Amino acid sequence: MRLMEVVCTFTMGGSERLAVLLADRLREQGMHTSVCTTSGGAGPICDVMDERGIPWFAPVERAGNPLSRRLQLAHLFRRERIDVLHLHHVSNLALCYWPARLAGVRRIVMTEHTDYELRHTPRVWRRAARFAPKAEAITVIHGGLEQLLREVGLPADRLHRIDNGVDTRTFRPRRQARKPRPLVVGWVGRLHADKDVDTWLRAAAYVARHSPRPVRFSVVGDGEESTRAQALARELDIADRVDFHGAQKDVAVFLRAMDVLALSSRTEGVPLVLLEAMASGVPCVATAVGGIPEIIQPAWGRLVPPGEPQAIADAVLALLSSDAERLAMGKTARQVAMERFSMEAMLARYAQVLAPTMPAA
């Protein structure tokens, strides 16, 4: 069985990391796996694929002629003799559906990660209504998306909810420091307008001024907003307290160094990093968008409205003010991650949907 994961870019985003994880782990079940991007060339996650021996392809240019792009994709799918195509996001389903059929791909599965464009961009909704019913299966990562795609008219037996999973051996709590150190508030993601790092930095500036204890800020990720974010940190006079680490292969190391993870996204699905932070014993502050409210509960995190720096700052300061409460929330978060978001369960469900005729491992 030859499976190809198809992503929009080779950045270190959540859907890209999931695609690489599936390509890596499903090889253990006898599949031949690879990963393809539909726009641009090599990116940060290519180093991870090279280390793990996962073949990857960047066959088309972002600004290429639409017909030429589709023909290049069809050629790739045929040359690689792809049996199953796993497409991440509706945009890739619309782009790759006919090239896949032309190339003889037998099974097409699409995973949608976010509901924002489906709700707010009519063109994306029309693509979903046109192409989603043609796929052999559609998977979603939270209940809101499941309900939304039912409205497209998908048959119930083709729509599957698969919760994201987390490797609780890789993502684990740190040992408590023996000597005093500054508290660390972190942010992890792709520096894109949707992630609204401006709001996060404005919240960080308030926390820096009002925290009774020394605090540092850790930004892990890269993207088109990186230069502007660093300029804003200088403008807010917190550049000496904010560490911009860029894209990192080993996110677990950075999460273990954090005391609180705060996410400021305007739109989301279910961020993998949220589950990874929980598994690392790090309490989270996150905006109440997408599938996040299905994950975060008061016992292990705090929800805040999007676009409100003061709300993020107040929630972070409350967590930083009590070591006992923060550590208890982190312990609960890890327990929830282990019980509800098992990596093994997620992989088994994807294997079942992607290749239902294969015997269980």
Tens digits of per-residue pLDDT, 148-165?
A: 898 888 888 899 999 999
- The predicted model gives 10-35 an average pLDDT of 93
Short-list 148, 147, 10, CA closest to 88: 10
Q: Over the stretch 287-321, which tens digit does the pLDDT of each residue have? A: 999 999 999 999 999 999 999 999 999 999 999 99
CB atoms within 10 A of CB 79: 11
User: Does the domain at residues 2-165+342-354 carry the CATH identifier 3.40.50.2000?
Assistant: yes
List phi, psi (to 5°) of 134: -80, -20
- The whole-number pLDDT of residue 360 equals 47
Q: Over the stretch 213-251, which tens digit does the pLDDT of each residue have? A: 999 999 999 999 999 999 999 999 999 999 999 989 899
- The predicted model gives 66-91 an average pLDDT of 95
Short-list 7, 76, 5, CA closest to 37: 7
Q: How far apart are CA 158 and CA 257, in angstroms?
A: 41
Q: Which CATH superfamily is domain 183-340 in?
A: Glycogen Phosphorylase B; (3.40.50.2000)
Strand 84-88, strand 56-57: pairing = unpaired
Do residues 94 and 118 touch, judged by C-beta distance below 8 A? Answer: no
Instruction: Name the pLDDT band for 95 (thresholds 50, 70, 90).
Output: very high
**What are the CA-CA distances from residue 212 to residues 319, 322, 323 (Å)?**
12, 11, 13
The whole-chain average pLDDT of the chain stands at 93
**Residue intervals in the chain for CATH 3.40.50.2000:** 2-165+342-354, 183-340
DSSP letter at 27 equals G
Task: Report CA dihedral (215, 332, 147, 9) to the nearest 10 degrees.
Answer: 50
Q: How far apart are CA 156 and CA 305, in angstroms?
A: 33
